[in-house]
């Protein structure tokens, strides 16, 4: 029996743990896909999950990636499912997902943010829809920002413990390490609002390959979220920004449009097995990003 070239090709694809030495290859794949990750982002995946990120390799060349992140023992996140353009259509993405699910087999809940193209694939793997998001983009103009008597102030390192406590309630699990990483990477995008000595909202941001990324934006109410976004963006005229905005309040996306944002693409947040720690999605006006949750 003569083996087909496709069979030989499949036999040559192997999967292994991602290492620091693979960051350049991962970055090349995400840049080729015009995704927004930087080398610093790839480093965080390995820091969050040193044994939970996998690569697909042919002849020692990385042709695909998947990253996972565990948030306490509550839930895990899957992101960065990438396959080299020339290697697509061979089921490598599905095999990378299988690797990720195997890595996370002990977790009670697994979540991800799906693009429309990936949505049907994840449904077949028994992922269930949770809620919808929109990636929105703008070149900051300053028009329409809520600036008068804005109580937002720049976040300090000393605010991080209190922010992390609030964030755990809203996100559903502790991610204080990631929030500190966000602050260290772009402190000028980190803002808080306090009322009677209590933090009622905060925002972070990070630098990206194509855009600056605003989020997470977490607040008790929409007015607070508007003030935070306005304070963050007002000094950044001309910069390209994205935000992955929640659909919980229609007025929220309408307001973002009024200050110049336009939808780039939708996402669908999904979960697998169960969703016992959903957090407080109505208070999460912008997520950290689909790769991190």
* 47-51, 222-226, 283-287: segment of lowest average pLDDT: 47-51
Predicted local distance difference test score (pLDDT) of residue 9: 55
Q: Return phi, psi of residue 195, to 5°.
A: -135, 125
Q: Specify the long-range contacts of residues 177-181, CB closer than 8 Å, at least 24 apart.
A: 177/47, 177/48, 178/44, 178/48, 178/288, 178/292, 179/204, 181/44, 181/47
Check pLDDT > 50 for residue 2: no
Neighbours of 237 (CB within 10 A): 10
Predicted local distance difference test score (pLDDT) of residue 148: 81
Vertex 79, ends 76 and 82: CA angle to 5°? Answer: 150
Predicted local distance difference test score (pLDDT) of residue 10: 63
Segment 109-151, tens digit of pLDDT: 999 999 998 899 899 999 999 999 999 999 999 777 877 889 9
Asked if 5-107 and 134-286 have one fold, the answer is yes
Domain boundaries of the chain, sorted by first residue: 5-107, 134-286
Check pLDDT > 80 for residue 1: no
Predicted local distance difference test score (pLDDT) of residue 3: 40
CATH number at 5-107: 3.40.630.30
Q: If you average pLDDT over every residue of the chain, what do you get?
A: 93
Segment 175-188, tens digit of pLDDT: 999 999 999 999 99
Percent of the chain residues past pLDDT 90, beyond the cut: 86
Segment 73-113, tens digit of pLDDT: 999 999 999 999 888 888 899 999 999 999 999 999 999 99
CATH (one of 3.40.50.970, 3.30.70.1170, 1.10.3720.10, 3.40.630.90) for 134-286: 3.40.630.90
What's 283's DSSP letter?
A: G
Q: Are 267 and 290 in contact (CB under 8 A)?
A: yes
Predicted local distance difference test score (pLDDT) of residue 177: 96
Predicted local distance difference test score (pLDDT) of residue 11: 67
Residue in this structure with the two tokens 């009677």, named with its chain if needed: 196
Segment 5-60, tens digit of pLDDT: 444 456 689 999 999 999 999 999 999 989 999 999 999 999 999 999 999 999 98
Pairing of strands 240-246, 212-219: parallel
Round to whole Å and give the CA distance between 180 and 199.
Answer: 17
Predicted local distance difference test score (pLDDT) of residue 222: 97
Predicted local distance difference test score (pLDDT) of residue 5: 45
């Amino acid at each position: 029996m003569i083996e087909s070239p496709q069979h030989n090709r499949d036999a040559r694809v192997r999967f292994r743990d991602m290492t620091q030495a693979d960051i350049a290859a991962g970055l090349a794949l995400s840049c080729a896909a015009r995704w927004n990750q930087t080398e610093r982002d790839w480093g965080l995946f390995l820091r969050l999950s040193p044994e939970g990120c996998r690569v697909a390799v042919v002849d020692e060349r990385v042709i695909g990636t998947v990253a996972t992140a565990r948030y306490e023992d509550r839930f895990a996140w899957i992101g960065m499912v990438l396959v080299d353009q020339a290697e697509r259509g061979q089921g490598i993405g599905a095999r990378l997902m299988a690797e990720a699910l195997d890595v996370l087999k002990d977790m009670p809940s697994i979540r991800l943010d799906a693009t429309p193209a990936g949505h049907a694939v994840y449904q077949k793997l028994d992922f269930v829809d949770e809620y919808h998001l929109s990636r929105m983009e703008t070149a900051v103009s300053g028009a329409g920002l809520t600036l008068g008597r804005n109580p937002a102030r720049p976040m300090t390192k000393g605010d991080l413990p209190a922010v992390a406590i609030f964030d755990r309630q809203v996100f559903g699990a502790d991610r204080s390490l990631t929030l500190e990483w966000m602050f260290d990477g772009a402190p000028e995008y980190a803002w808080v609002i306090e009322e009677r000595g209590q933090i009622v909202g905060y925002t972070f941001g990070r630098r990206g390959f194509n855009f600056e990324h605003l989020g997470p934006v977490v607040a008790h109410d929409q007015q607070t979220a508007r003030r935070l976004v306005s304070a963050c963006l007002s000094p950044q005229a001309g910069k390209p920004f994205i935000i992955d905005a929640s659909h919980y309040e229609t007025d929220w996306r309408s307001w973002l449009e009024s200050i110049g944002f336009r939808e780039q693409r939708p996402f669908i947040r999904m979960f697998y097995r169960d969703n016992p720690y959903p957090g407080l999605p109505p208070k999460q006006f912008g997520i950290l990003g689909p790769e991190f949750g």
